[in-house]
Amino acid sequence: MATVVFADLVGSTGIFERLGDETAGRFVTQLTTALSKTFEQHSGRVVKLLGDGLFVVFPQEGDAIAACVAIQKRLEEKPVYAGGTGAPVQMQMGVECGEVVEIDGDCYGDAVNSAARLADLAGAEQILTTQRVRDGLSSAQQEQMRSLGPMYLRGKADATEVFRVDWQVERDTDATVMGVSMFKAAGAGRLEIAAGGKTVTLEPRGERLTLGRATTASLSINDSRVSRVHATVEWRGGQFVLSDASSFGTWVYVGNQSEPVVLRRTECYLVGNGQIALGCDRSAEEAPLVTFAVKA
């Protein structure tokens, strides 16, 4: 058994475009080398650098979470700027535990794949993990976990309960536990989705809806950030499931939750009410927003 961490630099493409390949390459290498030392100080072994990220294994779940939190706090307290300008560097992280097979210094296994998927799913400054990791943590670390509910990770047939590590204590008062509502049955309610003055409805066991730029989509949104078929919504297993199929991702805000669930070719349940931002965060200029509500 081992605990796997994938830590990826957010927005690395923009850094390379702004600085050029050579300068950006040196910057990213220096950054990941410095972060490697923090992982190693927490008993982690850096399996390899991934260009704009790191792949690390730990013997214990608690050490992995502590290392990730230490790095996020370090970047918050002492921001690092690429080329001295622009927004500070941010990391997105995924953590999973399980059987890991080592071959010629590299590591393979389901835990490795899941950690990579979780890192893809995470937003900037976020650490996402699973129930398996949570079970191996101390009670103090478990209290930092906030359930985002069951999600379908790419390549997985079954839903995985995903947790976010609330490492920014001052923000905890604003956080809500999405998992509380995520596990409630949707019952016989219908789902209403609206954008641009048009509303479409999905009944339980109804036909799948599509969201996208295509004029043939169930709900058409004309914006360059929106893919032709950006996302689908269907009734599955007693829940309304939103599936991202886009180029740039989908941001889902449930209720008053300030932190989004970021989907990149992954899925989540739609419960209660909230907003869906297509192709960007809802704070972006004139973000293409869709509202949703499950009604009795």
Q: Which of 26-35, 244-253, 260-269 has the highest mean pLDDT?
A: 244-253
CATH number at residue 272: 2.60.200.20
Q: Write down the pTM of the prediction.
A: 0.62
> What's the mean pLDDT in 31-52?
90
Residues 219/192, Cβ–Cβ less than 8 Å? no
- In the chain, how many domains are there? 2
Whether 114 and 23 map to the same domain: the answer is yes
Share of the chain above pLDDT 70, in %: 89
User: Higher model confidence: residue 168 or residue 175?
Assistant: 168
Which residue, chain included where needed, has tokens 């890192």?
A: 119
Tell me, what's the pLDDT at 30?
85
Lowest mean pLDDT among 99-103, 148-152, 158-162, 191-195: 148-152
- Alpha-carbon distance values, 216 to 212, 219, 220, 245, 274 (Å): 9, 8, 7, 16, 24
- Pair (43, 137) in one structural domain: yes
Stronger pLDDT, 120 or 170, i.e. the higher one: 120
Residue 191 has pLDDT above 90, yes or no: yes
**Sequence-ordered alpha helix ranges (H) in 81-183:** 110-121, 131-135, 139-142, 178-182
Query: Residue 85's pLDDT band (boundaries 50, 70, 90)?
Result: low
Last residue of a domain, one of 140, 175, 210: 175
DSSP letter at 174? G
Contacts for 193-197: CB closer than 8 Å, 24+ residues apart: 193/219, 193/233, 193/276, 193/290, 193/291, 193/292, 194/219, 194/290, 194/291, 194/292, 195/219, 195/221, 195/288, 195/289, 195/290, 195/291, 196/221
Average pLDDT (111-136) is 89
Check whether residue 112 and residue 43 sit in a common domain.
yes
